[in-house]
Amino acid sequence: MRVNQILPDKRQMILKILYQSGGEPVSGVKISETAEISRVAVWKHMKALKQAGVNIKALPTGYKLQDAGNLLYPFCFPTHLQDRIFHFPELDSTMDQAREMARQGVRQASCVIADVQTAARGRLNRQWDSERGGLWFTLILKPDLPPPLAWTVNFAASACMSEVLTDLFDLDVRVKWPNDLLLKGRKLSGMLSEMETRADMVNFLFLGIGLNVNNDPASDQYQAISLKTALGKSVSRKQILTRFLDLFESRIAAVDPPRIISRWKARTATIGADVRVQTHDRVYEGKALDVDDTGALIVEGRDGVTRKIIYGDCFHC
């Protein structure tokens, strides 16, 4: 757990100065005076920021921040989100970091972001490739829900992200049961939730989301795609996350399972498709008929038997 990977205060201050310049170069003298550090310290911090993956260009007139739309530090977001954003250049796993921070009392819907994850995991404990350029984050949620309704949060999140990406980029992004996103039939995003309960209610729900944005995903097991690949250009991770957080928070303010399922079904690529569903110990093949009011997938097997599948990895055939 690399909790020390969050940027030091002076480094964040320098980055904020560059960010607020509106894309104009800022002289080393001005940074030195504003941050109250020496010119040598400015140079050292700039070097460290570049090593952390921040795109800063040194010009004769000063330092210029490149690609500001891909910065995910708290000060980059609208005021109403800033105290919920926790950014790390690198973590083992945003899920593990979120679990630790939840016990420290951070507020509802806090968002733990990492530019790079070194030990991320997906569904069924698979490794999740999390290189620089993607959007990797975990939400810390404290829903007033009994555990049997926790699935509604996952379905709401996948439908929301699908809507956001479709609206922003005019792409036909579809949800795949239980909560992946597909673009052109290829995997664009994966989601994983983990839950802690207290008595008969959810205490914490950790919702981890990995979205291929400006990275170049490679997987031997999944056919993956990124937004950059689909659009032929880089896009703003900050814009995506801001739109998603606002929409998602409004959708889960009052949990309404029938409405959540209805919105999810409107965006699904799974219902009606031939599928193979892998659980911990079995594989089911057949046609996906529906998703019921508990979030379970209804599959008509090749043997003619209709089954209700509660949990598993779903592949479209």
Q: How far apart are CA 239 and CA 222, in angstroms?
A: 27
Annotated binding-site residue? 122: yes
Annotated binding-site residue? 187: yes
- Residue 6, sorted as left (phi over 0), alpha (psi -120 to 50) or beta, turns out to be beta
Q: How far apart are CA 128 and CA 61, in angstroms?
A: 42
* Per-position DSSP letters for 265-313, written without gaps between them: HTTBSSTTSEEEEE-SS-EEEEEEEEE-TTSPEEEEETTS-EEEE-S-E
Q: Which residue, among 162, 149, 167, has the nearest Cα to 252 in the 3D structure?
A: 149
CA atoms within 13 A on the CB side of 268: 25
Annotated binding-site residue? 267: no
The reply to whether omega before 178 is within 30° of 0 (cis) is: yes
State how far the alpha carbon of 21 is from the alpha carbons of 15, 24, 52, 133, in Å.
10, 5, 21, 23
Q: How far apart are CA 141 and CA 296, in angstroms?
A: 22
Within 8 A by CB and 6+ apart from 18, the residues are 26, 31, 56, 63, 64, 65
Q: How far apart are CA 140 and CA 107, in angstroms?
A: 8
Annotated binding-site residue? 198: no
Q: How far apart are CA 141 and CA 307, in angstroms?
A: 32
What tokens were used for 8? 């030091």
Annotated binding-site residue? 121: yes
Composition of the chain by helix, strand, coil, percent to 5: 35, 30, 35
Q: How far apart are CA 294 and CA 120, in angstroms?
A: 28
Annotated binding site: 117, 121-123, 187
Annotated binding site for biotin: 117, 121-123, 187
